[in-house]
A = this chain, B = another copy of it.
Amino acid sequence: MKKIEIYGLRIDREIVPGDDIAKLIITAAESNGVKILDGDIIVVCSKVVAKSENRIIFLESVKPSEEAIRIATATDKDPRLVELILRESREILKIERNNIITLTKHGIVGANAGIDQSNTGGTGRVVLLPIDPDTSAKNIRRRIKSELGIDTAVIVSDTYGRPFREGQINLAIGFAGICPYRDYRGLSDRDGYILRIKNIAIVDEIAAAAELVMGQSTENTPFAIVRGIEYSRCEDTSFKDIVMPKERWLFR
């Protein structure tokens, strides 16, 4: 029988710039009574990664452009926030009913370029996404390996809405040490039918699963350890493999 275990790791303090996320994970695992094992998948909330990388911006330091002021008026947002959204985006996809949907420089489609106004560590500040969540994941993975001698996979996760469904779920925005897919294409089913589409984005499913223990920032559980999943270990993969190229988008 297949069995998965997911442990939420609480920490008791705010993450600040310069924090060593790998060490915090190791310490949190110890204090939560979980031993990190070979093959464990560690899911890390993007906001703590971003904070440790000093992606915190004080809004008073931001001078909005004319375009930002125009969009801010149309969407009832702070023009300084909109300025940051513009700077973080490759493209603004939609401005509609107070929503700004962007394509970020990472290739992520979502609201407000992933800039977060909640749990930023204080008022008047926002947190941008990590510059390169794949590299963040790789660094955490490498540091855990060097500290513990243990091979893990790392997934950086964030919360996203869905175009045709209410509410949000967590998805992966960067990962290391794990092949993002379980690919069934070309395999034959029990009746000889060849599967043509099925290519399951397990990194997104793992990020979603981990949210169930991590919750949102108010729960002080920025890390999860996911154990028991069959996955392919690989080094040469990145978030680019998840990004659907724009020419394949069916909805615009």
Contact = CB atoms under 8 A, between A and B. Distances in A.
Nearest to A161: B197
A95 to B, nearest CB: 10
A238 interface: no
A223 to B, nearest CB: 11
A111 B211 CA distance: 27
Contacts of A4: 4-6, 209, 212-213
Please tell me how many copies of the chain the complex holds: 2
Interface string A167-183: 11111000000001110
B199 A205 contact: no
B190 A218 contact: yes
A189 B249 contact: no
A214 to B, nearest CB: 8
Contacts of A242: 165-167
Contacts of A111: 197
A159 B4 CA distance: 20
Interface in A92-148: 94, 96-97, 99, 101, 109, 111, 117-123
Interface in A189-211: 189-193, 195, 197-202, 204-206, 208-209, 211
Interface of A: 1-10, 14, 32-34, 94, 96-97, 99, 101, 109, 111, 117-123, 159, 161-171, 180-182, 184, 187, 189-193, 195, 197-202, 204-206, 208-209, 211-213, 215-218, 221, 229, 241-244, 249-252
Given A119-B190, A167-B181, 8 more contacts: A2-B221, A118-B198, A163-B250, A166-B199, A167-B242, A168-B198, A184-B216, A189-B217
